[in-house]
């Protein structure tokens, strides 16, 4: 629980941005967190998980608190479900693997998402047809303002597409300590999304299992997404925008290759990667900031780009998409 001064955050964010934290400390329990906050309470403090959904555009003038609360505990089970409480500092993918080893189903489609458990509810992480809200039971969080602990149920979190209360009305107010997931004892397989079925066939899987789905997702992700250990990135930089049906129909008439998915209700989700690609950004590079060659949705740091370089590129992308399609896209990554 030692406090370090003037620490580079480069190893602590997958974009590899060299921002400086005036102070940096890791905590492994709520007690340790409270001690740190008692001595260093400030509005400039920042909670860090695995740093895989952050773009640092400036130095952090306060204390960066790295959440390292560990532990995976079964707190309850019944005929159908097992309720597993997980420390916020556990690595997400290691937790997924732990579930697969124990035959607990529900998170296999979320294999290989970088980052930690504590951030999983922040943006309701999702991939291949599954979101964290599908297995979420509740979470415990600490609020520095009144030094109290709070429990958030599924309804309290107001989960949406890459969204929750923690990104909106409670932004920067709570520190998530642990999350409890409700996992299935009898798996419900989700294989219709993306190329999962194709990959399972390629793998010559005879009998479907959560292990096989996890392996298929891992293979697809490895082939598709840049590895942050090699090229700095934070996954999808932008959210897929949703538009009303009329707007979708007008766009589809003008751009017949438009990629879109119908949402429940009368709106359509447009593929942000397609919109960006149509504006000519795919493979673009300026200095060390770029738009990935295979995935236009992923902005990359080829080495020494600053957060400001990446942010500027994202501004230009948003502007050209607005000019060409009349659509306001949003960033998925947290800009700090």
**124 torsion bin: left (phi>0), alpha (psi -120 to 50), beta (else):** left
Cα(116)–Cα(113) distance, integer angstroms: 9
Q: Are strands 130-131 and 242-244 parallel, antiparallel or unpaired?
A: unpaired
Task: Looking at residues 190 to 229 of the shown chain, list those that interact with ligand FAD (rule: CB under 6 A).
Answer: 225, 228
> Which stretch of DSSP H or E encloses residue 275?
helix 272-278
Check if 76 is active-site: no
Indicate whether 64 belongs to the interface with ligand FAD (CB under 6 A): no
- Of 238, 253, 246, whose CA–CA distance to 268 is shortest? 246
User: Which C-beta is closer to ligand FAD: that of 69 or that of 251?
Assistant: 69
Contacts of 171 (CB under 8 A, 6+ apart): none
293, 282 Cβ separation under 8 angstroms: yes
| Of 50 and 183, CB closest to ligand FAD | 50
> Which range in 147-155, 231-239, 242-250, 310-318 contacts ligand FAD by CB under 6 A?
231-239
Site map 108..147 versus ligand FAD, x via CB under 6 A: -----xxxx-xxx-xx-xxx--------------------
**Distance (Å, whole) CA 247 – CA 274:** 16
Cβ atoms of 20 and 9 closer than 8 Å: yes
Residue 236 a catalytic site member: yes
Q: Is 54 in the site for ligand FAD (CB under 6 A)?
A: yes
> Annotated catalytic, 332?
yes
Binding mask 5-24 for ligand FAD (x = CB under 6 A): ---------x----------
What is the binding site for ligand FAD (CB under 6 A)? 14, 46-54, 67, 88, 113-116, 118-120, 122-123, 125-127, 175-176, 225, 228, 233-235, 334
Query: Which residues does the annotation mark as catalytic?
Result: 162, 236, 332
């Amino acid at each position: 629980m030692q406090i370090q001064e003037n620490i580079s955050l480069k190893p602590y964010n997958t974009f590899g941005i060299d921002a400086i934290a005036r102070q940096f400390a890791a905590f492994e329990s709520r007690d340790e967190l409270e001690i740190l906050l008692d001595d260093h309470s400030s509005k400039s403090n920042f909670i860090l998980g695995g740093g895989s959904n952050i773009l640092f555009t400036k130095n952090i003038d306060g204390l960066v608190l790295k959440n390292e609360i560990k532990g995976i505990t079964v707190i309850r089970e019944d005929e159908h479900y097992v309720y597993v409480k997980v420390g916020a500092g556990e690595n997400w993918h290691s937790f997924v693997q732990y579930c697969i080893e124990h035959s607990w189903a529900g998170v296999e489609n979320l294999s290989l998402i970088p980052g930690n458990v504590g951030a999983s509810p922040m943006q309701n992480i999702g991939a291949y047809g599954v979101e964290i809200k599908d297995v979420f039971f509740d979470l415990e969080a600490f609020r520095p303002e009144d030094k109290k602990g709070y429990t958030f149920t599924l309804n309290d979190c107001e989960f949406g597409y890459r969204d929750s209360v923690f990104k909106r009305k409670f932004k920067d107010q709570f520190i998530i300590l642990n999350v409890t997931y409700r996992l299935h004892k009898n798996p419900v397989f989700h294989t219709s999304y993306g190329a999962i079925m194709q990959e399972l066939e390629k793998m010559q899987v005879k009998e479907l299992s959560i292990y096989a789905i996890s392996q298929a997702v891992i293979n697809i992700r490895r082939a598709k997404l840049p590895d942050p250990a090699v090229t700095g990135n934070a996954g999808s930089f932008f959210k897929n925008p949703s538009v009303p049906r009329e707007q979708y129909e007008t766009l589809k008439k003008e751009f017949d290759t438009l990629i879109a998915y119908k949402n429940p209700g009368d709106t359509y989700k447009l593929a942000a990667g397609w919109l960006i690609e149509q504006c000519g950004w795919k493979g673009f590079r300026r200095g060390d900031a770029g738009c990935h060659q295979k995935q236009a949705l992923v902005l990359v740091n080829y080495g020494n780009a600053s957060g400001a370089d990446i942010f500027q590129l994202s501004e230009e992308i948003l502007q050209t998409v607005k000019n060409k399609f009349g659509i306001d896209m949003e960033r998925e990554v947290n800009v700090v």
